DNA sequence: TGTACATCAGTGAACGCGCGTTCACTGATGTAC
DNA sequence: TGTACATCAGTGAACGCGCGTTCACTGATGTAC
């Protein structure tokens, strides 16, 4: 499968991810990606329908990266089936989520923009475009919580929504909101406060 | 104060707000605003240093609008000093926040972008740029909650953070996240769930 | 009250820029005989 | 094994677009005598 370039498609995605990493979705500029890959602008059209198609690929990568980090932090906690372990697992995914947002604001923002575009543009409903692996990870954690008796089943309903909203919200607030100037310590305390409140609230 | 145009500065802001309303901060295009105001592009430079200066004005308007809606929903609940009233007031501001986000996604997004830019660009720390009236409203609600004995003082700390994160998060999720396809009923239930969880968690 | 003048809000024309995208092409790759 | 050929990934040049911004200007407004 190595033609002239080798694997231009992947090279373009890599370059575009780098752009998104440092400047968010708007920085995913088709010409910049081809420049970085050492190729003519129009060469991109052999591999992507248009700029949006390239952006969609980047969004998928960003979302997958977020899921991978959540999964990785989950792997560090051994699941002995106890409620305490189940709560620790939930907290770990939340923390990983926020850490990813803070460490990679550009990718974090990008991860959610293909969803935004699917809203305006076409894209058949149900055919969700980007797969939301993070959502599935969160659901699994909550299921584990119920299974371990850490959470009464009658409180399980819509727990994803409550948990995700808090964790996503604190990420945005720390990045772009009134909390963006916080020092590292205060930031940690803010994140803990949010995670505490969610756990208690559920 | 009426020269040639009347009040071009305000007319440009109005036009720019309309742009932001339908397309978010990126839609705030200086030339488009002058076009709408029936004026030459460079006329804008009599009233704004550059495009970012115009955008900053729009951000302030958007943030003020958000605060106004929170304030308005607060005014509908008579404050008899009881804990129940204090909780209802908190909930009303949260609900107004989410409702604003859903009704005016472009303005909502714009309200928070001058903050994002102050982060990258210069802007002396402390000199916060856009004033965060919504934050102050929320703080006042939480103070009222403590005053009414609805919330023990030892739980007051960082309550703004927890409350705001949840409310901001559900807004983003409904607009751009996995919940963006929800119907009106499910949406209401999701918002209620989040508000319940916050109240319980605090 | 009338006239000369300074101010300055808005004009007209142009700049350089980088973008996404299209066209006809070239030349290396892999394939069939 | 060697040659003719089809494929198709990447080239080179160009397009039209709209943007932010700058220049020297014009002409209506308000002011001083």
- What is the model's pLDDT at position B5? 72
**Residue B25: partners with Cβ closer than 8 Å, 6 or more residues away:** B55, B58, B59, B109, B110, B113
Average pLDDT over residues B80-86: 94
Q: Which residue has the tokens 């591999």?
A: A47
Distance CA A187, CA A95 (A): 12
A108 neighbors A177 (Cβ within 8 angstroms): no
Q: What is the mean pLDDT of chain A?
A: 91
pLDDT tens profile A44-95: 999 999 999 999 999 999 999 999 999 999 999 988 999 999 999 999 999 9
Token duo for residue A143: 């299921």
Residue A115 has pLDDT above 60, yes or no: no
Interface of chain B against chain A, CB under 8 Å? 26, 112-113, 115-116, 119, 125, 132, 135, 157-158, 161-162, 164-170, 172-173, 175-181, 189-190, 193-194, 196-202
Distance CA A191, CA A169 (A): 10
Weakest-pLDDT range from A131-145, B26-40, B136-150: A131-145
* CA angle, B80 then B83 then B85, to 5°: 50
- What is the model's pLDDT at position A11? 96
Average pLDDT over residues A2-6: 62
- Exposure string for B47-57, b = 16+ CB within 10 A, e = fewer: bbeebeebbbb
Residue A179 has pLDDT above 70, yes or no: yes
Distance CA A52, CA A48 (A): 8
- What is the model's pLDDT at position A118? 53
Contacts of B190 in chain A (CB under 8 A): 158, 161
pTM score, two decimals? 0.91
- What is the model's pLDDT at position A175? 96
More confident residue, B49 or B129: B49
Q: What is the mean pLDDT of chain B?
A: 91
Token duo for residue B59: 């951000």
- What is the model's pLDDT at position B115? 57
- What is the model's pLDDT at position A12? 97
Other Cβ atoms closer than 10 A to A165: 30
Percent of chain A with pLDDT over 70: 89
> DSSP character for A26?
G
Distance CA A121, CA A141 (A): 33
Token duo for residue A56: 């969609």
Query: Would the CB atoms of A176 and B202 count as touching at under 8 Å?
Result: no
> DSSP character for A97?
H
Contacts of B165 in chain A (CB under 8 A): 165-167, 169-170, 173, 194
* CA angle, B101 then B106 then B109, to 5°: 70
B147 HSE (CA, 13 A, CB side): 11
* CA angle, A94 then B166 then B180, to 5°: 90
- With cut-offs at 50, 70 and 90, classify the pLDDT of residue B116: low
Distance CA A173, CA B134 (A): 13
pLDDT tens profile B133-186: 999 999 999 999 999 999 999 999 999 999 999 999 999 999 999 999 999 999
Residue of B nearest to A186 (CA): B158
Q: Comparing C-alpha atoms, which of A126, A13, A120 is closest to residue A60? A: A13
- What is the model's pLDDT at position A130? 59
B193 neighbors B201 (Cβ within 8 angstroms): no
Percent of chain A with pLDDT over 90: 85
A28 neighbors A34 (Cβ within 8 angstroms): no
Residue A51's nearest nucleotide, by CA–C1', is C20
Sign of the alpha-carbon torsion through B56, B58, B64, B67: negative
A90 neighbors A117 (Cβ within 8 angstroms): no
- With cut-offs at 50, 70 and 90, classify the pLDDT of residue A168: very high
**Residue B72: partners with Cβ closer than 8 Å, 6 or more residues away:** B96
- With cut-offs at 50, 70 and 90, classify the pLDDT of residue A6: confident
Query: Would the CB atoms of B119 and A180 count as touching at under 8 Å?
Result: yes
Token duo for residue A155: 């409180």
A59 neighbors A80 (Cβ within 8 angstroms): no
Residue B94 has pLDDT above 80, yes or no: yes
Closest chain A C-alpha to B166 CA, distance in angstroms: 4
B4 burial (CB, 10 Å; 0-12 / 13-18 / 19+) is exposed
Residue B200 has pLDDT above 70, yes or no: yes
Protein footprint of strand D, defined by Cβ closer than 7 Å to any strand atom: A 3-6, 8, 39-43, 46-47; B 2-4, 29-32, 41-42, 44-45, 50-52
């Amino acid at each position: 499968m190595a033609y002239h370039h080798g694997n231009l498609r992947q090279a373009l995605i890599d370059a575009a991810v780098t752009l998104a990493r440092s400047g968010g979705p708007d920085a995913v500029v088709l010409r910049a990606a081809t420049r970085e890959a050492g190729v003519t602008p129009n060469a991109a059209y052999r591999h992507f329908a248009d700029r949006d198609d390239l952006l969609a690929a980047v969004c998928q990568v960003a979302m997958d990266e977020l899921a991978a980090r959540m999964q990785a932090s989950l792997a560090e906690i051994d699941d002995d089936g106890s409620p305490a372990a189940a709560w620790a697992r939930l907290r770990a995914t939340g923390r990983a989520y926020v850490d990813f947002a803070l460490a990679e604001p550009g990718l974090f923002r990008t991860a959610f923009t293909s969803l935004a575009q699917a809203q305006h543009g076409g894209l058949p409903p149900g055919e969700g475009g980007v797969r939301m692996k993070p959502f599935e990870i969160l659901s699994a954690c909550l299921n584990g919580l119920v299974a371990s008796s850490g959470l009464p089943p009658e409180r399980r309903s819509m727990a994803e929504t409550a948990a995700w909203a808090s964790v996503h919200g604190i990420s945005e607030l720390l990045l772009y909101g009134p909390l963006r100037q916080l020092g590292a310590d205060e930031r940690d305390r803010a994140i803990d406060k949010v995670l505490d409140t969610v756990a208690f609230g559920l």
